[in-house]
Copies of this chain bind each other. A is one copy, B any other.
C-alpha cells in the first residue's frame, strides 16, 4: 500500500480510501491510485485491515464437524458455506472424529485465528471451556448435538420423536420383537434415539427385551457383526431399527449375508444416497442436515451482528420415508 501511495503520489490514507471505495475521493486521484495499484499488482491485506478495524471482525467463522468427508457432516458444511458466503464470510473447517481433545485443540486454534464465531458439532462432554470465549465476544452455536455445561444456541434433530415414529411404524406393521442397534452411548443423540425406541415400545405395551438391544456400534463393521450375532441367536427380532447411517449399511450387509433382507423389516435413522435403489429399498427416518446447517449459520451470523438474546434450542423435525424395507411384515409362526 505504501508503494502504491508513493507511485501515485498520494498519501497512504488516500490509497486506503480508494481500496475501501469510500466516495469522498476526487475521481482523478482514484484513477491514479487504481493505475498504480494495477502496476504494482497490489493486493489488499484483509488480515492487516481486520487487525486495525474497530470491530475486530475477521469475516471468518469456524466449523467443527465429525468428518468433512461424511455425507451428513458435508451437507451441514455446504449449507453453512452458502449462508456465510452470501455475506462474504469464509469458513475454516475441521474434522473431530469423535475426539474431545481434537475439539479443544481445534477450537483453540480457531480462536487464535480470531474467527468471529464457531459452529460446533461437538465430540466432547464438557463445553464450559467455551464460556470465556463467549464472554470475550466469540459467538458459538452447536449443531447436531447440544452443548454440555454451557449455555449456547443449538440446532438438533428430533432424535427422540423421530425414532419413536419409526418404531411405531414397525409396531403398526405387526412387529413385536424389534431390535435396536445404536451408536456410542456417550453421544447424546444416540441416547435420545434409544429413548425414543424404548418409549415407543412402552406406549404400545410391548415389554422391553435387553437381548434385542446393542449399543456402542461406531463403525459399519461393528454394526454388521452385532447384527449378524443378533439375528443368528435364539429368538431373533423380526424387525430392526438402526440408529445411524453406517449402522444401517452394516445391518444391510448382515441381512444380505443371511439372505434375510426380504424377511426382516428394517428402518434406519438418517437418509442416505441410493437407499431407494437397494432391494428392498430402505425405509428411513430422515434428518434434514441442510436445514440444520442453514439455521445454525443464520443463528451464528445474527449473534455475531448483535449478541444479547438468550440462547435458544431449535429442534428440527425428522421425516419418515417409506420405501419398502420398513413395511415387511413379521413372519407367521
A interface residues (Cβ-Cβ under 8 A, vs B):
41, 43-48, 50-51, 58, 60, 67-71, 74-75, 77-78, 81, 85, 88, 90-95, 109-114, 132-133, 135-136, 249, 252-253, 256, 272-274, 277-279
Q: How many copies altogether? A: 2
Sample 20 A-B pairs with CB under 8 A, ordered by A number.
Answer: A41-B136, A43-B112, A45-B51, A45-B112, A45-B114, A48-B51, A68-B77, A68-B81, A69-B75, A70-B74, A78-B95, A81-B95, A85-B94, A90-B94, A90-B110, A90-B113, A91-B92, A249-B274, A277-B278, A278-B278
- A58 engages B47 (CB within 8 Å): yes
Smallest beta-carbon distance A183→chain B, Å: 18
- A69 engages B71 (CB within 8 Å): yes
> Which residues from B are CB-within-8-Å of A71?
69, 71, 74
> Please, how many angstroms separate the alpha-carbon atoms of A132 and B38 in the complex?
11
Say yes or no: A113-B74 contact (C-beta < 8 A), given A93-B91, A94-B90. no
Contacting residue for A44 out of B91, B112, B272, B279, CB 8 A = B112
Which residue, of A50, A51, A58, A93, has the highest number of chain B Cβ atoms within 10 A? A93
Smallest beta-carbon distance A199→chain B, Å: 31
> Please, how many angstroms separate the alpha-carbon atoms of A67 and B68 in the complex?
12
Say yes or no: A93-B95 contact (C-beta < 8 A), given A41-B136, A114-B46. no
> Which residues from B are CB-within-8-Å of A274?
249, 272-274, 277-278
> Which residues from B are CB-within-8-Å of A109?
46, 88, 90
> Which residues from B are CB-within-8-Å of A88?
109
> Which residues from B are CB-within-8-Å of A272?
273-274
> Please, how many angstroms separate the alpha-carbon atoms of A136 and B40 in the complex?
11
